[in-house]
A and B are shown apart, each in its own frame.
Chain A
Amino acid sequence: NAGVTQTPKFQVLKTGQSMTLQCAQDMNHNSMYWYRQDPGMGLRLIYYSASEGTTDKGEVPNGYNVSRLNKREFSLRLESAAPSQTSVYFCASSERRGDQPQHFGDGTRLSIL
């Protein structure tokens, strides 16, 4: 039982390149989330998906797009990467809502040069 799996674990991009971060959960959870973590900033919500087929903006959505591919998978896309998007990205899932325990993956460390 893997929980939440994120790929890749590390990535270096050049400014202007595009990339998709993948996330999959095997807990049959309805809700999934993408956060970014920057030094001294805690975790900030980028986008979330309350259920299959729905997505909503979080606190810092600019420069990102998401796709809830099916109940298991939720991807995050950077269309034109910028140095300000250098961060550690975490995917999480919860059974139904954000006010329930969220299970996190181990993150994707993304550097944009």
Chain B
Amino acid sequence: KAGVTQTPRYLIKTRGQQVTLSCSPISGHRSVSWYQQTPGQGLQFLFEYFSETQRNKGNFPGRFSGRQFSNSRSEMNVSTLELGDSALYLCASRTGAGGRNEQYFGPGTRLTVT
């Protein structure tokens, strides 16, 4: 079974621009979560989508948004980029939204904001 895939793998953007990241979950997985990983803050939860509905949201500004499509693929958008948004953005999928469903992580998208 193919793993979680994320595109693009690397991205360089300028302050003020916006960016869209894509995540394709493992086949059959209906839940997709997004995390921001930085050396200083570690892994921070952004949001989780399940069956096209946002189920949970972390403590990030409204510039961070996401959506999930009917095929469970998910996109994350960051508008008005700031230097502090430079990070590795990880996507994870799981079969369901309960706590006993382990998450499978993708390789991440490395975003650099200059």
Partners in one complex: no
